[in-house]
Chain A
Amino acid sequence: MSAATLETKRDEGHIDAARGRLRAPVPGGAAVAALLSAMLGMLTLAVVNVFTAASPAFNTWAHGIGKLWMPGADGIGPYSGKETLSLAAWLGSWIVLHLTIGRRDFEVSRWLIVFLIGVGIATTLIWPPVFEALAGH
């Protein structure tokens, strides 16, 4: 990029953008890891919720998970465990994915579609008439 072009971009307020172009391309794997881990966290919340609705024993177990660390978990109930498991799935999978694929050159386009499908499923599963039906109520 020529100095003149760079100067113009800066004047337009593209300071970070100009800086970014000066760096070597960052592999797409890091973005894919961030997208997929967010999706896995959302799916975990949705699936765990279906199982807590279906099984009182699982519901009690999920509450126990929340009570392990969350302040006020007694009052919050099983929701604390659902949050905990979702958080663990999101952050845990992000660490694993970032370390394994973060430096690889993935096509973001393909994985963005996978992400959207996963988010669509998670959203459908948290709609109460759907998860209540799946839980057999």
Chain B
Amino acid sequence: MRSDGELQEMREASTASLAAVVGILIGAALAFTAATAPINKLLGSGAAALPAALHGLTAFLYLFVGTIGLYLGWRLMTGRIRAFADLQLLSTVSATLSFLAIVAGNWLYIYYRANTPESPRSSFLKTMPEVHRVFFEFKEFAALFTLPLTVAAAFILWHYGGQVVERRWLRYSVAVLLGLSFFYLVVAFGLGAAVTKLRPA
């Protein structure tokens, strides 16, 4: 039987290797981009370029992590999860990315709803009011729902630890939280992408 220190080492190695893979992938993507694209044109020229890039980046990353979290949540619900420590980590990363996407979204929203005739909101209200009044309004609230859901999932996974695997309703609770957060993420992401395609900020 291995000592607790060895167990800790195994778990840390798993987390570190995952972080290393993520770091290498992001680094490789940045290196390729830097080598092949004009950096000064990447963000665009508008005043909202930086918040738009940050909001898109965090939302994209959240979508990737949320998708894996959804799959692991399903494995947890069925009681067949092996990567429990990974799910703990992913739920925490999901909650963090949800928070960052909301913060960047708030920043971008300032430009979206600017009181000028050229702002996306003014433009939609003049030409396609339902895009703002239905889709954007729903998206801006649905996006906020992801934060309490992912934080609650991460809290239960860390607070109860391995007991989650043993206790059926804790498994179901975490799976439901991750499933719902993914639903709201996809709603916000899809509608956000559609709105941006119609009229970038």
Contact = CB atoms under 8 A, between A and B. Distances in A.
Interface of A: 3, 6-7, 10, 12-21, 23, 25-26, 28, 30-31, 34-35, 37-38, 41-42, 45-46, 49, 70, 72, 75-77, 79-80, 83, 86, 90, 107-109, 112, 115-116, 119, 122-123, 126-129, 132
6 contacts: A12-B82, A13-B84, A15-B85, A31-B156, A45-B145, A72-B110
Contacts of B160: 20, 26, 30-31
Interface of B is mostly: helix
Interface string B67-108: 000000000000000111100100000000000000000110
Contact of B176 (A34, A80, A86, A112): A112
A73 B197 CA distance: 26
A18 B83 contact: no
Contact of B173 (A16, A21, A108): A108
Contact of A35 (B138, B144, B173): B173
B170 interface: yes
B124 interface: no
B7 interface: yes
